[in-house]
Chains A and B, each alone.
Chain A
Amino acid sequence: MDNSFLLSLITFSPLLAILILLLVPKSQITIIKQLGILGTILPLILATMLFVSFDYHQIGMQFYEHASWIQIPLSLMADNQTYYLNIDYEMGVDGISMPLVFMTSIIATLAAVASWNIKKRTKEYFILFHLLLIGMFGVFTAQNLLLFFLFFELTLVPMYFLIGIWGYVDREKAANRFLIYNGIGSAIMLLGFIAMLFVSSLVSPEPTISIWRLVEALTTPGNAFVTNVPESFKFGLFMAFVIAFGIKLPIFPFHSWMLKVHVQAPPAIVMIHSGILLKMGAYGLLRMGIGFFPDVAQKMAVGMAILGLINILYGATLAFVQRDLKMVLAYSSISHMGVILLGFAAMNLFGFQGAMFQVISHGFISALMFFLIGVIWERTGTSQIDELGGLAKSMPFVSGVFLAGGMASLGLPGMSGFISEFFAFLGLFGSHPVLAAIGALGLIVTAVYVLRAIMAATFGPTPTKYQQLADAQPMEVIPIVVLLGFIILIGIYPAMLSNPLQETLKTLVIQVTGIGG
């Protein structure tokens, strides 16, 4: 098959489900749910094709699509010639974004399955769900700043409603907090993009907002970008991206919005939120922050490592004292995102690889954990640690997987979490050993809070009211097995992920260490 439109197909394939869903009457709840799940199968198949046909020996963008889109004439040129700013429709993936697209398609399908429990306004729910999906695919495939921005915003709007309408008691507050923080993040990002364009048109006769062109321009020695743009300006832009994507990741102290989302949003949406949406922050940071300004990033490495340490230790310490499982996992996410920052801060191949593994690994792990919390909630009506206990007796399968997920999260070898932590730390030990050693304390604290939370829920005597709980149903077993399967597969055979990452990360390392070093 011709793969030349594959990325567009993946990105817009959820539209098909939306169109069909629009035609189905509201009352046909079961059909809507089935369609909602089926609708995610198409992108899943296409993304699998992408994964399989991706050539991991090739450097640079693959499956590149390019079409003229917007042309803006630029008037005030010095030599009186008419130049145009071409904002093209550009899609492409490299080793960083391809795995993210693949992971998104998997988690999306599983989250759709987890949405089976949605009890109201099913039709709207699934339409928004698929809109969100388009946004997520788009963010990872878009190859120019405008397109990226539009897709990025496209994820916010459906999320706002998904949290605000289908969430738990305090959902509206959570939705508002979500929108305000992310709105601010977007505004800063937009300003950054504008500034990029501004700079681009200052130094080049053919201004561009194509991501890869910008990267090329910014990292080629002797290029006007490199020579003419003052350091302070680059620094400012870099910081703007750190903040914009830092809110998304989130970096301390920008995290309070995501706690609310984790607690209030329905489990399926949290799977997506924690599994994929947070990763857009990491992706943006790597692609634009470090990708555009490798020399600045190199200079800011220590700062980034310290931010990472704060995230790791602060998140882990707070996770230890939480009473709600969801809050434990929310703070756990903050802590685990710190590992990504540490990996970035290492500024070497091991660190970058660890960070990218963490992006993927945490995606699967947190999707699994939130799915399980949803399963437990369905039966017990609570996620409060004090009210749970002894679930291993009546729900051995769910409890066993819950523990396995916890082990993955605390970095047990044989599971994906280990690979990511190991490489992130190994990388940082190569560049900042003292900071890395401090961060390694996080490994202990992580074990402490993970075991505390999980064992409180599943170990101990079983209260009478939980004696008769049903273990996982077939519909629930599928997502559990798939997610755990990927967690273990990556843990045992990390090459499946490191192979596609290699060339892209190598290029990045050369850029980071090559200029200004």
Chain B
Amino acid sequence: MDTMMQYAWLVPLFPLIAFAIILSFGRQLKEGAAYISILFTGASLLLSLLTFWERFKDGAQDYVFSMTWLKVGDYVIPAGFEINQLNAMMLVIVTTVSLLVQIYSRGYMHGDSRFPVFYQYLALFTFAMLGLVISPNLLQVYIFWELVGACSFLLVGYYFFKPQAKAAAKKAFIVTRIGDVGLFIAICLLFWQTGSFAFEDIFTAVENGKVEPAIITLSAILIFVGAAGKSGQFPLHTWLPDAMEGPTPVSALIHAATMVAAGVYLVAASFPLFIASPEALNVVAYVGGFTAIFAATIGITQRDIKRVLAYSTVSQLGFMMMALGVAGAAGYVAGTFHLMTHAFFKALLFLAAGSVIHAVHTQDVFQMGGLSKRMPITSFVFLIGCLAIAGVPPFSGFWSKEEILAAIFSQGRFDLLIIAMLAAFCTAFYMFRLYYLTFKGEATTEATKKAHESPSTMTLPMLILAVLAIIAGFINLPNNPILGNWLMSGTVGQYIMERYTEEAGHGGVWLQVTAVVISLLGIGLAYLMYGKKSVSSDIISEQVPWLYRLSYRKYYIDEIYDVVFVRSFRGLGHLLSLFDRYVVGGIGFLVGWTARAIGGVNSRLQTGQLQMFGLVVLMGLVILVVSLTTLGGVPYGQ
């Protein structure tokens, strides 16, 4: 069978080649490195589109390729790739955003002294992310999972000389690693239950009841722990806002559109395992729901444009998790659908924010203002992004968010529905707060007054993303869910359909209307406070200062972690250090002292030491020979 899908392995390979070229010739290429990386990523995008189209058009079987990577006894540990509905879609998302971000970065990073290194990392990240997406088994997922984490680490710490960047990079790596260990344990547990790492085998084993129910729940929750680490879910969310220390294109690519969505992707990719355990699904749903509202309430008070977007990302990822957690076919589709629309509009918002930062050299929104006149394109696309994320029809975010609400509603989860609506209100509010503070009103600083629009290498990718942020929702309209039907036609879709026989119900028009009203309320309040300024924006901070501080200081989570984990661990370290020096080392000293006392040598380096040592050896040999000649030959076998 000749199919485009059998060449899908080339999709991640192209960026890897780009990486290798830039690694070898970065110094000679200088800023030309960008073109190498863009060229190869462009090839990946093309191939992804072809692959996607073939998968979409034919609704063909999943394509799985597998070869032996390693043999351990009778176990064969394979390496390969798989193309199914979900990851064919992911390939397109990742390559599209990556390509656009790389084009954008050509302008944004212009003049940076480590320009080729930046592209080298970007290319490596793109390779790893694509590799993750097409992995057919959990071990391979884990390998690329760690690699994207490492690339994220490198890029967050790209400005290595900045202490904040250093701290943020370290934090990103360690906090996500906590989650990774969960995934690691889950993989090991599942392996001993099913004898395989492959998704397919694990699903079959679960389906056939070969896996103990307790292990299903435990491993599903552990996989979710890994997903929570990557996708910034509470309580492992703290690294993501700090990761904004990386260059802004990185925030757009890694910390908005692709890598942070990997957690959501992983839950979706191993969905048959999750739906076998209602407990695990509940954990996903409630952690997601809590994260959605929790991060949204932080987002409303932050002053740093990128941090607002970061908390927004955390919150939106919570939305996706919540959708997957309530499950049913509707939840699955809504979660992955929102993953796609979010990738486009959030990447757009970050790139636009980068364009602003590039122009005014600050990230504090209170030092901006009035930029819509000076940066019309940026302002325009940012508005589109805001409308999309706030859920205003017909922008893409409206369709996917409405889908999530409908999924929650159809499963009768009214507690989560209220949470989701509250979070949606906050989202609309803080996004338009951001919009009005940045682009409307009067310029507050000199830099803002002198700001001018970014070059076309930066505006073009933004415009393309803006188009996507508008139209991406049309692929899954309530009365014509093309994406949903297509996703359900796949292998994972079949598992879901089997378990959830009821028709994925929609909440009806009233739910859509409610969703829109909530968004408009949020936007309206932001307008009154920051646009028209008829309502004092300080009303909360003056009336209930502790509440404001709680939100502004991010519920003091970082401080709590610092005391509970970091300091106590360091304390333990120092304590053990004393133990090691005085107790364990003391024994050593005692041994040494005894040896010296017996041997009668001092601590200077002398042959005496060695003589004594030789004596021991010699004595041993004597014992050996004596024992042989006297004891040896005692009647055996008696």
At the interface with chain A, which of B290-298, B365-373, B615-623? B615-623
- Chain A contacts of B632 at CB under 8 A? 72, 74, 76, 85, 197-198, 201, 207
The smallest C-beta distance from A330 to any residue of chain B, in angstroms, reads 11
Question: Which residues of chain A (49-83) have a CB below 8 Å from chain B?
Answer: 72-78, 83
Interface extent on A, as a size class?
Answer: 35 or more
Contact B174 A83 (CB under 8 A): no
Contact A181 B69 (CB under 8 A): no
Does A429 count as interface, using CB distance less than 8 angstroms? Answer: yes
A349 to chain B: closest residue by CB: B73
Contact B636 A321 (CB under 8 A): no
Does A451 count as interface, using CB distance less than 8 angstroms? Answer: yes
Question: Which residues of chain A (126-163) have a CB below 8 Å from chain B?
Answer: 146, 153, 156-157, 160
The smallest C-beta distance from A438 to any residue of chain B, in angstroms, reads 11
A253 and B612 CA atoms in complex are apart in Å by 24
The smallest C-beta distance from A449 to any residue of chain B, in angstroms, reads 9
The smallest C-beta distance from A152 to any residue of chain B, in angstroms, reads 10
Question: Which residues of chain A (425-446) have a CB below 8 Å from chain B?
Answer: 425-426, 429-430, 433, 436-437, 440-441, 443-444
User: A318 with B573: in contact, given A176-B592, A444-B174 (CB under 8 Å)?
Assistant: yes
Contact A444 B177 (CB under 8 A): yes
A455 and B632 CA atoms in complex are apart in Å by 60
Does A202 count as interface, using CB distance less than 8 angstroms? Answer: yes
Interface size on B, residues (CB 8 A): 71
Contact A177 B592 (CB under 8 A): yes
Contact B185 A429 (CB under 8 A): yes
B171 to chain A: closest residue by CB: A451
- Chain B contacts of A224 at CB under 8 A? 636-637
User: A181 with B635: in contact, given A72-B628, A440-B184, A459-B166 (CB under 8 Å)?
Assistant: no
8 Å CB contact of B620 from A187, A201, A255: A187
At the interface with chain B, which of A33-41, A267-275, A336-344, A406-414? A406-414
Contact B174 A447 (CB under 8 A): yes
- Chain A contacts of B283 at CB under 8 A? none
Question: Which residues of chain B (162-219) have a CB below 8 Å from chain A?
Answer: 163, 165-166, 169-170, 173-174, 177-178, 180-181, 184-185, 188-189, 191-192
A451 and B71 CA atoms in complex are apart in Å by 33
Contact A443 B177 (CB under 8 A): yes
Does A298 count as interface, using CB distance less than 8 angstroms? Answer: no
Contact A179 B610 (CB under 8 A): yes
- Chain B contacts of A425 at CB under 8 A? 184, 188
- Chain A contacts of B170 at CB under 8 A? 451-452, 455
Does B464 count as interface, using CB distance less than 8 angstroms? Answer: no
B128 to chain A: closest residue by CB: A414
Question: Which residues of chain A (448-477) have a CB below 8 Å from chain B?
Answer: 448, 451-452, 455, 458-462
The smallest C-beta distance from A351 to any residue of chain B, in angstroms, reads 10
A191 and B622 CA atoms in complex are apart in Å by 11
User: A183 with B174: in contact, given A414-B147, A429-B192, A460-B161 (CB under 8 Å)?
Assistant: no
The smallest C-beta distance from A254 to any residue of chain B, in angstroms, reads 9
Contact A462 B70 (CB under 8 A): no
Does A194 count as interface, using CB distance less than 8 angstroms? Answer: yes
Does B543 count as interface, using CB distance less than 8 angstroms? Answer: no
- Chain A contacts of B613 at CB under 8 A? 156-157, 179, 183
User: A318 with B633: in contact, given A183-B616, A460-B163 (CB under 8 Å)?
Assistant: no
At the interface with chain A, which of B102-110, B497-505, B548-556, B577-585? B577-585
The smallest C-beta distance from A178 to any residue of chain B, in angstroms, reads 10
- Chain A contacts of B633 at CB under 8 A? 74-78, 83, 201
Does A204 count as interface, using CB distance less than 8 angstroms? Answer: yes
Does B402 count as interface, using CB distance less than 8 angstroms? Answer: no
Does A353 count as interface, using CB distance less than 8 angstroms? Answer: yes
Does B604 count as interface, using CB distance less than 8 angstroms? Answer: yes
Contact B163 A461 (CB under 8 A): yes
Contact A451 B592 (CB under 8 A): no
Does B475 count as interface, using CB distance less than 8 angstroms? Answer: no
- Chain B contacts of A181 at CB under 8 A? 588, 591
Chain B at the A interface: SS class: helix
Does A393 count as interface, using CB distance less than 8 angstroms? Answer: yes
Question: Which residues of chain A (162-219) have a CB below 8 Å from chain B?
Answer: 164-165, 171-173, 175-177, 179-181, 183-184, 186-187, 190-191, 193-194, 197-198, 201-205, 207
8 Å CB contact of B610 from A157, A429, A459: A157
Does A423 count as interface, using CB distance less than 8 angstroms? Answer: yes
- Chain A contacts of B70 at CB under 8 A? 494-495, 498
Interface contact tally, CB-CB below 8 A: 219
- Chain A contacts of B624 at CB under 8 A? 146, 190, 193-194, 197
Contact B150 A412 (CB under 8 A): yes
The smallest C-beta distance from B253 to any residue of chain A, in angstroms, reads 21
- Chain B contacts of A76 at CB under 8 A? 630, 632-634
B604 to chain A: closest residue by CB: A172
A189 to chain B: closest residue by CB: B620
Does B157 count as interface, using CB distance less than 8 angstroms? Answer: yes
A350 and B632 CA atoms in complex are apart in Å by 40
A173 and B146 CA atoms in complex are apart in Å by 42
B170 to chain A: closest residue by CB: A451
Does A228 count as interface, using CB distance less than 8 angstroms? Answer: yes
Does B479 count as interface, using CB distance less than 8 angstroms? Answer: no
Contact A423 B72 (CB under 8 A): yes
8 Å CB contact of B146 from A320, A413, A429: A413
Does B517 count as interface, using CB distance less than 8 angstroms? Answer: no
Contact A72 B629 (CB under 8 A): yes
Does A111 count as interface, using CB distance less than 8 angstroms? Answer: no
Contact B173 A447 (CB under 8 A): yes
Question: Which residues of chain A (248-271) have a CB below 8 Å from chain B?
Answer: 252-253, 255-257
Contact B173 A194 (CB under 8 A): no
Contact A498 B72 (CB under 8 A): yes
Does A308 count as interface, using CB distance less than 8 angstroms? Answer: no
The smallest C-beta distance from A6 to any residue of chain B, in angstroms, reads 27
A407 and B150 CA atoms in complex are apart in Å by 8
Contact B592 A165 (CB under 8 A): no
The smallest C-beta distance from A416 to any residue of chain B, in angstroms, reads 13
Does B142 count as interface, using CB distance less than 8 angstroms? Answer: yes
Binary per-residue interface labels of chain A (482-517) against chain B in the complex, 1 for a CB within 8 Å, 0 otherwise: 000000000000110010001000100100000000
Does A99 count as interface, using CB distance less than 8 angstroms? Answer: no
A75 and B174 CA atoms in complex are apart in Å by 67
A452 and B469 CA atoms in complex are apart in Å by 40
30 residue pairs of the A-B complex, CB under 8 angstroms, read: A72-B628, A75-B629, A77-B633, A156-B613, A180-B591, A180-B595, A184-B591, A186-B616, A190-B623, A198-B627, A201-B631, A204-B636, A253-B587, A257-B588, A317-B573, A318-B573, A321-B573, A322-B577, A392-B161, A407-B150, A412-B146, A413-B142, A413-B146, A413-B147, A437-B185, A444-B174, A455-B157, A459-B157, A460-B160, A509-B73
Q: Which 5 A-B pairs have the closest CB atoms?
A: A321-B573, A74-B633, A413-B143, A429-B188, A78-B635
**Residues in B lying within 8 Å of A, measured CB to CB:** 69-73, 139, 142-144, 146-147, 150, 157, 160-161, 163, 165-166, 169-170, 173-174, 177-178, 180-181, 184-185, 188-189, 191-192, 569-570, 572-574, 576-577, 580, 584-585, 587-588, 591-592, 595, 603-605, 609-610, 612-613, 616-617, 620, 623-625, 627-637
Beyond the given A157-B610, A194-B620, could you list 4 further A-B residue pairs with CB under 8 A, ordered by the A residue number? A72-B632, A73-B629, A75-B629, A175-B605
